[in-house]
Amino acid sequence: MKLIALFFLGGMSLVLAADMPSGESLIDRCIQSEGGAKAIERAQTAIMTGTVEITGHNIAGPLEIYQDGDKAYTEIVLPGIGKVEEGFDGVVAWEMNLLQGARVKDGEELEAAKRASRISVLGNWKDYYKSAVTQGAEDVGGKPAWNVVMTPTHGHSVEHFFFDRDSGLLVKMTQTLPTSMGDIPVEMTLGDYRAVDGIQTPFLMTQSAMGQNMAMHIDKVVYNAKIPAGKFDLPPDVKPLVKKKS
């Protein structure tokens, strides 16, 4: 009986696996749902502005995000905390705040910053991930979604991308981020998608880590905007740290 049961379970597993769409097909569908590869490729730069709210602590402040190719810069200003910055100039990833000062990222943390710097990492995902495998179905926000395991080309931690079964859009990501405080599990949900220049863009992103929730409410998104000169330059406090590492 035990052998029959094991055979039955094995057969059911094969049937369920056959019913699941491949990870690559879900990524392709997401790109189409976002507006198509051509529309995404046309977006060479992006500027996003809005507010950040630390949920449950009555703390909120302005948010600015700048992206250009593989370069990125984010600035948040929070009362009682001050300015929090992080950037990637195509080579060096860094972060800086008043409490901890400036810091340069390396190793897996640097690789994670490279992946996060892109306007759409799915558009050329094979440059950053070596596989995308559908693990199964899971509800996100009460709606069914496909869970795809993304294995980065560099690093040891896998990431999970969740694609809404109805819309095909990316609605959640989970990963373990290497930081100066150790490895930290992080969950990011994406919602309130709106069309901007033909690209479906999330206007609400909520990040959960270390028991804290941070909601990013985007007010405005401009693609192919002119980025202010020097926006991706290394800050003066970061440059000596880069020299020290070289």
Residue 136 belongs to some domain of the structure: yes
- Whether the pLDDT of residue 173 is over 70: the answer is yes
CATH number of the domain residue 149 falls in:
2.50.20.10
Give the model confidence (pLDDT) of 144-154 as tens digits: 999 999 999 98
The reply to whether the predicted model has a pTM over 0.75 is yes
Q: Is a pLDDT exceeding 60 seen at residue 178?
A: yes
Tokens matching residue 35:
């507006």
Q: Say if 122 falls within a structural domain.
A: yes
Q: Answer yes or no: is 88 within a domain.
A: yes
CA distances from 74 to 47, 129, 148 (A): 10, 24, 27
- Region 164-174: mean pLDDT is 97
Number of domains in the chain: 1
* Res. 217: pLDDT tops 80: yes
Question: By residue range, what is the domain housing residue 195?
Answer: 22-245
Rounded distance between C-alpha atoms, residue 210 and residue 219, angstroms = 27
Residue 185 placed within a domain: yes
Question: 116 and 159 in contact (C-beta within 8 Å)?
Answer: no
Report the pLDDT value the prediction gives residue 10, as an integer from 0 to 100.
Answer: 53
